[in-house]
Amino acid sequence: MEDLFESISRRPDHEIPEFTVSEISFEIKRFVETAFGRVKIRGEIFGAKRADSGHWYLSLKDENAVISAVVWRGVALNLPVKPEDGLEVVATGKITTFSGKSSYQLVIEQMDVAGTGALLKLLEERKKQFAAEGLFDAARKKNLPFLPQTIGVVTSASGAVIRDIIHRVRDRFPSHILLWPTPVQGEGAAAKIAAAVEGFNKFDGNKTPPRPDVIIVARGGGSLEDLWPFNEECVIRAVYASQIPIISAVGHETDTMLIDYVSDKRAPTPTGAAEFAVPVRSELTTQLNTLTARLLNSGIRYIAEKQNIVQGLARGIPNLEQILFEAAQKFDDRISRLNAAFKNLLENKKSRLDAAGLRPFYIQNIFEKKQENLNNLLLRLQSVSVEAVLKRGFAWVRNQDKKTVYSSEQARSAREIEIRFYDGSVKTGISAEPTKAKPAKGLKQQRNKDERQTDLFDF
């Protein structure tokens, strides 16, 4: 292809072949993609933007030039780092042209941070970002269970880390261990570590396998690049959202990753994580035996003290028979004094009656007078009773509602009339209008005056 362009450039103008726009664009595209089929470009990211489709569009620059780049969605999901402005990276991919704009761009297939200095700068920026969001707040950290029945471990299935954890747990307090094997470095490791943490949280505590009581996320030592998955955003947010307490044990004691800030407990080593997870069984046994002995001894002392108190009280209590005899003697004395007092009371009352000159026949006269007065009142009451009034020739007239009828007008408006005599009652209907009788002189005024008076026959 290069020879073709050189030969064309040496020909006279009248011998130069003619191309259409599409033809020359195709030839350039083929030349560029053939010559730069796979390249590595080092530069600083700027203008990074994620489209709704999931593709990333960005540019790489240095002091003198700029090149456009694109990361397709499928590749972006597995990148070890997220494209961020200001981050110096080494991008691997191929150069291609975009005929629609007569431009070229780098299609990135892999991207790594360029150098430890750039990683440390990115690490510090992410630390500030997550701290500002409250992901590292001590108030939200959960307490570790004292004696977990099941321990979940997120690490590589091969290597010394899982073996160290298993051996240390067995030595201290044998517990059930669930391993969720994941890669702990390289491309895609961060997403799988985050998925493991989220997966443990989705376990149902009533089913098999059981839900862990605590999770250990661990790996051995390594370079900052090797440990970088434990600084990725997906891992940090998965640990923050975990409902199960998490112990981080990444790298050596001097290595501090972002997962150490967000986890509930940081261990210097994977072995240290196992020590945080479970207590020492022998120490618990010794402590339990000590507490048991102290409890028994304190119980014995307590009983002995109470026994001494009871014995002291018993010595101060007199003989029971003596108490009963004294109580019986006091009772007999009170009975004797009561009888004498009652006898004296009667004598006093009798003396007072004698002194007042009250004799039995005088009291009898009083009773007889009271009885006579009572009989007179009874006769007067009987003389004004309903029966006595009716026997004197009066009658009691009532309507169908058992209400007393006072006038001919009230009798005319009644449907039925009941006339009660001293020896019985007669009921009759009203068929003729009665003649109004003129009230006697002064009777009308007296009637109006007594309208509120209760009737003689109303009871």
Q: Which candidate, 54, 86, 87, 88, places its Cα nearest to that of 70?
A: 54
CATH pick for 2-115 out of 1.25.40.10, 3.40.50.450, 3.40.50.1100, 2.40.50.140: 2.40.50.140
Domain with CATH 3.40.50.261 in the chain: 123-279
How does pLDDT run along the chain (459 residues), one tens digit per residue?
555 555 555 666 666 778 888 888 888 888 887 888 789 998 888 899 999 998 999 999 988 899 999 999 988 888 877 888 878 888 999 998 877 777 889 999 988 877 667 777 788 888 999 999 999 999 999 999 999 999 999 999 988 999 999 999 999 998 999 999 999 988 789 999 999 999 999 998 777 889 999 999 999 888 888 888 999 999 999 999 999 999 999 988 888 899 999 999 999 999 999 999 999 988 889 999 999 999 999 999 999 999 999 888 877 777 777 778 888 888 888 888 988 898 888 888 878 777 766 556 767 777 788 888 888 888 888 877 878 888 888 888 999 888 888 888 888 888 899 988 888 889 887 654 544 444 444 444 444 444 444 444 444
Domain with CATH 2.40.50.140 in the chain: 2-115
The conformational region for residue 134 under phi > 0 = left, psi -120 to 50 = alpha, else beta, is left
Does the domain formed by 123-279 have CATH 3.40.50.261? yes
